[in-house]
Structure 1
Amino acid sequence: MAEMKQQVKEEELEGGSGGKVELTPEERKAEQERIVKRISVELSIPLTKVKAAVSLLDEGNTIPFIARYRKEMTGELDENDLRSIEDKLQYMRGLETRKREVIRLIAEQGKLTDELQAAIEASVKLQEIEDLYRPYRQKRKTRASVAKERGLEPLAAWLLSQPRQGEPLREAERYVDADKGVTTAEEALQGAMDIIAEGIADDAKIRAWVRRHTFEQGVVRTEAKDAKQETVYEMYYAYQEPVKKLPPHRTLAINRAEREDVLRVALDVPNERIHDYIDRQIVRGGTTAPIRDLLVQTIEDAYKRLIAPSIEREVRGELTEKAEEHAIGIFSANLRNLLLQPPVRGHVVLSVDPAFRTGCKLAVVDETGKLLDVAVCYPTAPHNKVAEAEKLIGGLIDKHGAELIVIGNGTASRETEQFIATLISKRKAAGADQERELKYIIVNEAGASVYSASKLAQSEFPSLDVAERSAVSIARRLQDPLAELVKIEPKAIGVGQYQHDVSQKRLEESLSGVVESAVNHVGVDVNTASPSLLSYVAGINATTSKNIVKYREENGKFNDRKALQSVPRLGAKTYEQCIGFIRVLESPNPLDRTPIHPESYGVVDKLCKELGLKLAELGSEAFRAALEAVDTEDVAPKLGVGVPTLRDILDSLLRPGRDPREELPPPIFHTEVLDIDDLKAGMELHGTVRNVIDFGAFVDIGIKNDGLVHISQMSTKFIKHPMDVVSVGDTVTVWVLSVDTKKGRVSLTMRKPD
């Protein structure tokens, strides 16, 4: 899509977008049918399902709503399928628009043939359209355009006709004209060759072949600009790899090193076959030596000067685009797993935002996340006020009954962890925490500083400074990761690779979709949710989310789902899209606390009558037993509902108030600290996966730096990607492979040693 928008932008600069081509209803319908068929083929999704999904999207329905509440219509397509369809639909509609524009622009030049129009209309990729349009695009001044201005096109045409008789220089003398800037026959001949060279470079068939050949046979080579300079890119100082085998993370690493002026990057391609191929397209058999020699020389010039640099840019651009999409996919998957980490509820939490010089900021929050206390202590260098810090933190624990201590993983994290572990040990020895077991955990604080300096944080905690707000955010991340992390710009949550090297707009779009998916998967309590959380509910935008909170503040808690219809600017369509994902725990209607959409409340009433149940008994053993005995295939027709919808209704009734995150394993808590010097090869440890990347996963095993499990150490079987085995937040058993205490690196394995 980015490439398409750039092409359209260039066209607007050329002044060629003034006559937009409008379609008749019949033409638009035919175009829609073509697009739907292509999407079906390319995504291998049945045509009927694609057609239904496109229709629902065009009606303004959101993807979470379609995936959850329109399963019968789409044949139970999931969110991933629907997002793929939406992306393809957007791309292909843009493609069709571009086709019409290109046809119009060429027609306005009087150069459109039936054959060319058919080729444009048959194109399935933007690159194919642009290759066909290339000869007709208005260009900046070139050697060929200058030669054309000097009237040398007939000479170029004569050379291309490859006459069996005639001397090139003698023919060129006819075009010598000092007034036009052609002073010699040699100049005329060179101008004609420039025109031919540009024509060869603009030939769609030739460009397509050269592009394929470059992908198949090209080699990316890198070398250091200063081999003595120490950088993280040293493996690329003298490196080469075939284009078709270059993995995405290496593409992005090479691009970054090139931008930082560390590497020179070149794309080498064997050009003999390229010259031979172009020669077969241009030079006819039996062409006389003088003309043949000139054409071969022109072909070499066309490739070296015009085609090769252009194709190299295109190939590297395509490599980058694929690498960016891959990196965004990795980041998106990691983000979703992070957002869906199980909440740790029902505990008073003391949070520590570690630091050296400025001290550790402390915050205590109650079981609901309400701030109870803030303070600062200085247990780390350069102050080392350990006794004073122990007294302060111990007092906060006793005063508020804190059971869990959360430490951010930023600067001074491990030094602070050592201090906290020692404090817990001392309190245990003194019998201070007999009624509860005091534990600690380290959480990823990525993005906490972004949140703490935001307007949202300022409005939530106007009397706190930035570091104190950060401490509160760290505590709440443990209690409800999703509710807290949605307050932060998704790309600021560091669970990706090379996220700063990809298209930031595309990254933002993808990550926003991930957050939206996670929020709607869990559901939102409308009476406690922040505007940030509400804004990700299907159908609700930032303005509507603020209106909901404002209405709640002015009128008190919502008593049921229907009450949301009174919120300003929350219309019927928005209500339809969002209401199934909204929970009203205070409602007298128990269905308002479930994912069941109000449009299905009547179905639930019929189901209860069919089974002889009362909705007031929801949650009882008898109610549950009756539901478990339901044959969905048999009962669905009686209720006038589809089997998928009935299945979801039964699931919601069987587990009312269920939070899907609670089914995941809880995080690992600690009472004592582990040092890198304690590690030995073969030692068994339990850790938490913090990040998953192309070549492995980083696991928090309780030391200063996360250990790396390389992809080769994840399984005894071959795996394509680490995500086939682990996800962010997983609790894993690992064994120490090797320890580099000097660099602070630990290599781990998930393959149990013999």
Structure 2
Amino acid sequence: MSEQETVLEMNEERMKAEEQERIIKQTAKELEISLKQIRTTVTLLDEGNTIPFIARYRKEMTGELDENQLRAIEERVSYLRNLEERKREVIRIIEEQGKLTEELKSSIVNAVKLQEVEDLYRPYRQKRKTRASVAKEKGLEPLANWIWEQPKQGDLNSEAAKFIDAEKGVETAEDAIQGAMDILAEQIADDANIRAWVRRYTFDHGMIRSEAKDAEQESVYEMYYNYSELAKKMPPHRILAINRGERENVLKVTLEAAPEFVYRYIAGQVIKGQSSVESVITAVIEDAYKRLIAPSIEREVRAELTEKAEKHAISIFAANLRNLLLQPPVKGKCVMGVDPAYRTGCKIAVVDETGKLLEVAVTYPTPPNNKKAEASAIINGLIDKYGVELIVIGNGTASRETEQFIAELIAERKGDELAYIIVSEAGASVYSASKLAQEEFPDLDVAERSAASIARRLQDPLAELVKIDPKAIGVGQYQHDVSQKHLEESLKAVVESAVNHVGVDVNTASSSLLSYVSGINATIAKNIVKFREENGKFTNRKQLQKVPRLGAKTFEQCVGFLRITDGDNPLDSTPIHPESYDVVDRLFTELKLSLDQLNTKEAAAALEKLSPEQMAEKLDVGVPTLRDIVESLQRPGRDPREELPLPIFRTDVLKIEDLVPGMQLQGTVRNVIDFGAFVDIGIKSDGLVHISELSDNYVKHPMDVVSVGDTVTVWVLNVDVKKGRVGLTMKKPANLA
């Protein structure tokens, strides 16, 4: 390597280091996390470690940053790295044009938003044909420069007459002046400082206005037919609603800011004092704003508002999905799943307590067939044959008629410990038609697979729901109106987080579930299942290293989240990582216990008395790691979901006609949105608890009070039987207080 090449390489390395340091400092400043924590996290991520692994097993290194903080760092660093790449590209292009100054380069290098870089690059970007570029081709740039200097003396018409050239299309002095004004308007519109100020002003003071394209047309957007609101105060769900109305060609939407303030600001930046061309400069300012700046700034601000609204909607969807995935499993029960329908009949699937399919059937208790006696005989026969304790009904078509039939059947079976529950079947049809469902149930038709999925959803919501595209689960709002790429990334992260939080039994998990485990992709997940089928159950975690494509790095990332019950080593059933097994050995030696005593009263008592801080020093291990180890040893094999209350099981039907204001009910939160929560109280449609009815205290957002899956006490506020709507409150009525 030549000396020159060595110098170039060293310069490149130095620039990369400076760039990395800029990114780390900017991320630390924005997220208010220490430089050391950011630097360590970035290094760990760059080494190929996953966020669940870092959050659980590298707490000492990151200062106990949680998953949300780690994801925020990952997201921001990725953005800033892309930004640095764009800066390099812009600097290169301007430099090639011979127009790069040190001041401009410094401004680009120090920009912290992509928009700032694009504003600085705007004057140098190759443009399509514009009025200004045409005027420049006609040789009018010198006249524009003369006007821009704003001479105190001089006659504009006389100066413009010098540029008359019929061959170039400049017939008159007025043509020349107009061309020069077009050049100056574009120059003002391309000024980065002016654009930044106008964008900020429009965002802070602009009004969103919407009106109907056809005021006579009935639609769900009628409240927006003549609507206006300060843009920055518009809640996310309203922004997404008017966007959809505009997209469906029902609404015309504009963003308007008072132009006189903008003119005044630009004039302050442009006008140097009294001059012979002041009126022309004033006209140029108005043209620059109305024709060039306002339309593009309106697009940019609306795009920013939409991006924020989408981010909010995705965060709500993600939080709802996580709560749904972490619903407690209903274990140890033989379950009957029912996929209700009218003409094609209700598909029945019975699964044992492990989720194994026992039998399927079809019954026709609903209209138009109404074969209730025959259906009763079939269902009663299955209940008796397999000892069914719980019937799970999907909430789709014919759900309530099926519920009525099942409730009557339960009432007739006096003395049975039999109950039913209605569950959301969102996504069940997507799963049933999938390749995965075909592999799992090759001999069943689509509806029968759906019934089996509905039954299993109650037994283990997480294991069943991971088989479905998260977008199809339906616990959000406006999920079809947001960036599908961002939605998919966010929901995948939520599923990954939930799966690793709970842990996975490597001997029973499907490849779908395994593919969400830290470090494991779809190919490795299938290889684990294939290895298990060919070699029998895993008896220790070390055997995972024999799985094809599961290398050392993957093993390190995944092994702590994979559980082996009744294996060779009791620690394999805990979240303790094998890298810490020697810590457990030394800990038990200090406590004068053997590993065989795990789960005994002696071990529990010794662990309860232990001081993690003192013992960590003795064992030369980090306090957070030891704390996690002790917690895992105190409750080996614990499922964190089991601490949550079980869903509400029912034995009789409630109809909307039965409801009266003031009636107290127990319900399950099905969805949480910006303006309230929908609660299943056992009738056909979920009731709405408006945000104002969630608490006696001020509620900033419904998620501060309720989550999907919560069991809540509600009181009926109002009932609209015709529309099938029920208003609920969680505020205890005064007469009951």
- Give the TM-score band, short-chain normalised: over 0.9
Residue in 2 aligned with 1:373? 359
Of residues 379, 384, 387, the one that matches 2:370 is 384
Q: Is the 8 A contact 2:349 2:451 kept in 1?
A: yes
Q: Does 1:720 align with 2:700?
A: yes
How far the C-alpha of 1:215 sits from its partner, in A, is 1.2
- Provide the residue aligned with 2:603 in structure 1: 623
The amino acid of 1:412's aligned partner reads A
Residue 408 of structure 1 deviates from its aligned partner by 0.5
Q: In 2, distance between residues paired with 1:646 and 1:299? A: 67
Aligned to 2:627: 647
Equivalent in 234, 243, 246 of residue 255 of structure 1: 243
What displacement does 1:23 show?
6.5
Q: Is residue 2:311 matched to residue 1:325?
A: yes
**Tell me, what secondary structure is at the counterpart of 2:147?**
helix
Separation in 1, partners of 2:612, 2:389: 46
Q: Give the secondary structure class of the aligned counterpart of 1:500.
A: coil
Partner of 1:128: 116
Q: Which residue pairs with 1:587 in the alignment?
A: 567
Moved more, 581-590 or 685-694: 581-590
Q: Match for residue 3 of structure 2?
A: none
| Distance in 2 of aligned mates of 1:138 and 1:64 | 45
Whether 1:360 aligns to 2:346 is yes
Q: How far is 1:244 from its partner?
A: 1.2
2:279 pairs with 262, 287, 293, which one? 293
Among 53, 68, 73, the alignment partner of 1:65 is 53
Letter in 2 for 1:110: G
Query: Who is 1:596 aligned against?
Result: 576
Contact 2:189 2:292 in 1 (8 A): yes
Query: What amino acid maps onto 2:97 in structure 1?
Result: Q
TM-score (norm 1): 0.95
Q: Deviations over 1:221-255 (max 9, x none)?
A: 11111222221111111111101100101000110
How far has the Cα of 1:41 moved from its partner?
Answer: 1.1
Deviations 1:465-496 (A, max 9, x none): 11111111111000000000000111111001
Unpaired runs of at least 5, structure 1: 1-19, 429-433
CA shift, 1:163, in A, is 1.4
User: Secondary structure, in 3 states, of the residue corresponding to 1:120?
Assistant: helix
Letter in 2 for 1:490: P
**Counterparts of residues 5-16 of structure 1 (less than 5 Å):** none
State whether residues 153 and 275 of structure 2, in contact with CA within 8 Å, keep that contact through their aligned partners in structure 1. no
> Which residue of the partner structure matches residue 473 of structure 1?
453
Q: Deviations over 1:235-288 (max 9, x none)?
A: 111111101100101000110111111111111211101011111211221112
The 1-side partners of 2:398 and 2:229 are apart by 40
SS in 2 for 1:24: helix
Partner of 1:418: 404
Q: Cα distance, 1:21 vs. partner?
A: 12
SS at match of 2:413: helix
Which amino acid in structure 1 is aligned with residue 375 of structure 2?
A: A
Report if aligned partners of 1:21, 1:101 keep a CA contact under 8 Å in 2: no
Query: Is the alpha carbon distance of 1:221 and 1:687 closer, same or farther for their aligned partners in structure 2, counting shifts above 3 Å?
Result: same
Question: Once structures 1 and 2 are overlaid, which stretch shifts more, 665-674 or 293-302?
Answer: 293-302
1:716 and 1:333 mapped to 2: Cα distance? 24
Aligned to 1:193: 181
**Residue 348 of structure 1 contacts residue 403 of structure 1 at CA under 8 Å; is this kept in 2?**
yes
1:689 and 1:485 map into 2 onto residues whose CA distance is 18
Query: Which amino acid in 2 is paired with 1:590?
Result: P
1:348 aligns with 2:334: yes
Between 1:541-550 and 1:184-193, the stretch displaced more is 184-193
Deviations 1:517-571 (A, max 9, x none): 0000000011111110000000001111111111111111111100000001100
Segments ≥4 residues shifted beyond 6 Å: 20-23
Q: Which residue, out of 43, 63, 72, partners 1:84?
A: 72
Which residue of the other structure, out of 198, 207, 211, is the alignment partner of 1:210? 198
Identity %: 72
CA shift at 1:358, angstroms? Answer: 1.4
Q: Does 1:274 align with 2:262?
A: yes
Opposite residue 462 of structure 2, the aligned amino acid is: L
| Partner of residue 322 from structure 2, selected from 322, 329, 336 | 336
Tell me which residue corresponds to 1:690. Answer: 670
Deviates more, 1:213-222 or 1:574-583: 213-222
Is 1:222 the counterpart of 2:210? The answer is yes
Q: What is the total number of aligned residue pairs between the two structures?
A: 727
Q: CA deviation at 1:586?
A: 3.4
Question: Which one-letter code corresponds to 1:210 in the other structure?
Answer: V
Counterpart Cα distance in 1 of 2:175 and 2:338: 77
CA distance in 1, matches of 2:648, 2:236: 33
Moved more, 145-154 or 329-338: 145-154
Q: Distance in 2 between matches of 1:232 and 1:737?
A: 24
SS at match of 1:708: strand
Q: What is the alpha-carbon distance in structure 2 between the residues aligned to residue 566 and residue 22 of structure 1?
A: 43
Return the alpha-carbon distance in structure 2 between the equivalents of residues 741 and 616 of structure 1: 63
| Separation of aligned partners in 1, 2:133 and 2:10 | 33
- Deviation string 1:303-351 (CA, Å, 9 cap, x unpaired) is 1111110000001000000000000000000000000000001111111
Please list the CA deviations of residues 568-587 of structure 1 after superposition, one character each: whole Å capped at 9, or x if unmatched.
11000000000000001131
Q: Alpha-carbon deviation of 1:169? A: 2.1
Q: Does 1:658 pair with 2:646? A: no
1:16 is aligned to none
Cα contact 2:207–2:228 (8 A) shared by 1: yes
Aligned counterpart, 1:15:
none
The residue that corresponds to 1:523 in the other structure is 503
**Distance of aligned partners of 1:514 and 1:110 in 2 relative to their CA distance in 1, 3 Å threshold:** same
How do 1:87-98 and structure 2 match up within 5 A?
87-98=75-86
1:144 and 2:124 matched: no
Partner secondary structure for residue 499 of structure 1? coil
* Residue pair 2:28, 2:38 contacting (<8 A) in 1 also: yes
- Measure the CA separation in 1 of the matches of 2:294 and 2:353: 64
Partner residue, 1:464: 444
Task: Give the alignment partner of residue 633 of structure 1, picking from 588, 613, 629.
Answer: 613
**Whole-angstrom CA distance in 2 between matches of 1:478 and 1:353:** 14
Deviation at 1:22, TM superposition (A): 10
Q: Do residues 311 (structure 1) and 300 (structure 2) align?
A: no
Equivalence for 1:406: 392
Deviation at 1:47, TM superposition (A): 1.8
For 1:706-737, what per-residue CA distance to the aligned partner results, in whole angstroms no more than 9, with x for missing partners? 00001111111112100000000000000111
